Structure 1
């Protein structure tokens, strides 16, 4: 239930609106954590470069989702609403953590979905819910490669 995307037919594969499109309706009741971010946006959205991390409710995150924002780098996680979080740990997380490349290793343990954007080159998508994972894979088809197979082939 872990996928990586490096080449797609979408505008750019770190556009959250495209990455989350097949599962968006299933994620309406979650809060969102965004950390270790680098992004480009021409729109006013509830994230900036003045903070190390963001905890957004579903309405705030929808502003990011609906925008034409490219997440170049970062960790984006859906967590159940009102989840107790250790913000000190979250503020120090890095998409460069070696666990980002390990199947079923979530950088934010409470995540139901975790998206890791790596320098606009790769997007890793991890799921704890099999139905969400299946919807994601069905939407992206061959473009979504199993993370384990990818790492075995390219990362030793």
Structure 2
């Protein structure tokens, strides 16, 4: 099931991953993460400079869970676009045309319960800085997320 946060005051700004991952931080850190289709703004850039691994030009960026958790907990970043795929084990070697993406991807809306990457256990989709979509393989994590974010709504299938 896909959950969407929109029109909410429960986060400082949409796609603020520091707040989004709080209810499942331990599980977040236990996965390897593939980030694709990313566009972001470093809101603390004047104080802390660039994050070396975040590269606007990369098609894909891979993180160990603790590494990505450290970045999002210690930096002030708004992800405008991006697909974060949390994977247990090795991240698959994908061709460029196989990489999950959010921008202009109708499947997010027409097939909301499908993971964009079959190997994902958790997916976080940052959509235009306006919506945050979260999908969990583990229903207990989904329930924990919904307890924290009571504004989260079920993302319903729409016509494509």
TM-score range, shorter chain: 0.7 to 0.9
TM norm structure 2: 0.84
1:64 is aligned to 2:71: yes
Task: Give the match for residue 54 of structure 2.
Answer: 47
Tell me how far 1:90 sits from its aligned partner.
Answer: 4.6
**Which residue of the partner structure matches residue 75 of structure 1?**
83
Unpaired runs of at least 5, structure 1: none
Please list, as runs of the form range in 1=range in 2, the aligned pairs for 1:5-154 lying within 5 A after superposition: 5-9=5-9, 10-41=11-42, 42=45, 43=48, 44-45=50-51, 46-66=53-73, 67-91=75-99, 93-95=100-102, 96-101=104-109, 102-141=111-150, 143-148=151-156, 151-152=157-158
Give 3-state SS (helix, strand or coil) of 1:73's partner. strand
Once the two structures are superposed, residues 111-146 of structure 1 have per-residue CA deviations (whole angstroms, 9 ceiling, x without a partner) of 1111111111111111111011101111001x1011
TM-score for the superposition, normalised by structure 1: 0.86
Q: Secondary structure at the match of 1:112?
A: strand
Q: How far is the alpha carbon of 1:27 from its aligned partner?
A: 2.0
The number of residues matched between the two structures is 150
Uncovered stretches (5+) of structure 2, i.e. residues with no partner:
none
Which structure carries more helix by proportion?
Answer: 1
Worse overlay, 81-90 or 13-22:
81-90
Offset of residue 81 of structure 1:
2.4
Check 1:87–1:18 CA distance in 2 against 1; reply closer, same or farther (3 A cut): farther
Q: RMSD between aligned alpha carbons?
A: 1.8
2:30/2:66 contact within 8 Å kept: no
